[in-house]
A = this chain, B = another copy of it.
């Protein structure tokens, strides 16, 4: 079977907020300003930033990704989390129950969130067309290989298939650094775990 070559994007720390949280941070009815479209359709980095306060420090100027969502979610790397003094779990986006608390501060106010800070689990967004072409199932755990000085095989990459996605893989900056993936466009090759016959 032909293998999917996918563009890998590094996600820096960022924040998703609810409409209610944005009201408190930036004022009632404030609309996020579109700065740059992201690879996933409809998602954008905004001009708005918040400070994140954890037990160990205040981290300034973390970008809010729009549009507003149903839950507040703070996506950090372990490096960020250690700086803040937080201990977030590795989770898929949206799965925030029992994740780490922190405080978000905007120009109009602050919001204590009792949960919401996570380390994003590696994931592959996949269109239904690519999923069919490459035999990838929604929820399948795949392996993505990157080459170079610090070649790595990223295991435990969860594939998510949806017609609202574009096909891209997302990892964080600890993972980018671990694999020294610093070129403008980073490609990885997607393998099915069943192809790895070496655990026999």
Q: Known A149-B121, A150-B90, A153-B155; judge A191-B180 contact (CB<8 A).
A: no
CA distance A179 to B172 in the complex (A): 11
- Interface contact A149-B195, CB-CB below 8 Å: no
- Asked if A177 is at the interface of the complex by the 8 Å CB criterion, the answer is yes
Pick the contact of A149 from B90, B148, B196 — CB < 8 Å?
B90
CA distance A121 to B175 in the complex (A): 15
CA distance A149 to B154 in the complex (A): 11
Pick the contact of A196 from B77, B79, B156, B198 — CB < 8 Å?
B198
CA distance A119 to B174 in the complex (A): 14
How many copies of the chain does the oligomer comprise?
2
Q: Known A149-B156, A152-B153, A152-B154; judge A177-B90 contact (CB<8 A).
A: no
- Asked if A42 is at the interface of the complex by the 8 Å CB criterion, the answer is no
* Chain A 108-152 interface mask (CB, 8 Å, partner B; 1/0): 000000000001011000000000000000000001010011111
* Chain A 21-48 interface mask (CB, 8 Å, partner B; 1/0): 0000000000000000000000000000
Pick the contact of A156 from B143, B150, B173, B198 — CB < 8 Å?
B150
- Interface contact A153-B153, CB-CB below 8 Å: yes
A-side residues, CB < 8 A to B, are 77-79, 90, 119, 121-122, 143, 145, 148-156, 173-175, 177-180, 191, 195-198
Q: A79-B174, A90-B149 are in contact. List 10 more A-B contacts (CB 8 A).
A: A79-B177, A121-B149, A121-B150, A151-B156, A152-B153, A152-B178, A174-B174, A174-B178, A196-B198, A197-B198
Which 8 pairs show the lowest CB-CB distances between chains A and B?
Answer: A178-B178, A153-B153, A151-B155, A174-B177, A78-B177, A90-B149, A175-B178, A151-B156
